[in-house]
């Protein structure tokens, strides 16, 4: 995924505690992030996580016709999509 950058603000041990010891990848949100039902700015909003929220990445990315990349995530038990404009891999 081109536009999502890597950041490491939590240690691997902290990430393992959050994930119950399983190796998981997280997406960290920034100000203005919205989780949508499908990739695209015109799609229904599922929720608005607070900046710095870690969402479990579900292993799928898509790029929309407007050039934005989207990551599939778990948000409060629901599958949704967050734009790379407002998130980074953690």
**Which uninterrupted H or E stretch holds 15?**
helix 12-18
What CA–CA distance (Å, rounded) separates 57 from 34? 15
Helices and strands of the chain, counted as H and E runs: 1, 7
pTM of full prediction above 0.75: no
Q: Is residue 70 part of a domain?
A: no
What CA–CA distance (Å, rounded) separates 41 from 57? 19
pLDDT, mean of residues 51-70:
94
Give the residue numbers spanning the domain of 23: 1-60+85-90
Q: Is residue 65 part of a domain?
A: no
Q: Is residue 15 part of a domain?
A: yes
Number of domains observed in the structure of the chain: 1
pLDDT in tens, 43-57: 999 999 999 999 999
Q: Is residue 37 part of a domain?
A: yes
Residues 6+ apart with CB under 8 A from 13: none
pLDDT, mean of residues 33-50:
96
Residue 89 has a pLDDT of 87
Q: Is residue 74 part of a domain?
A: no
């Amino acid at each position: 995924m081109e536009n999502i950058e890597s950041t490491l603000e939590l240690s691997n041990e902290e990430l393992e505690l959050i994930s119950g010891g399983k190796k998981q990848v997280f997406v960290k949100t920034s100000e203005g992030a919205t989780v949508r039902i499908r990739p695209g700015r015109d799609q229904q909003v599922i929720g608005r996580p607070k900046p710095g929220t870690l969402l479990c990445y579900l292993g799928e990315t898509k790029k929309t016709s407007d050039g934005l990349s989207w990551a599939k995530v778990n948000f409060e038990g629901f599958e949704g999509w967050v734009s790379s404009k407002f998130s980074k891999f953690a």
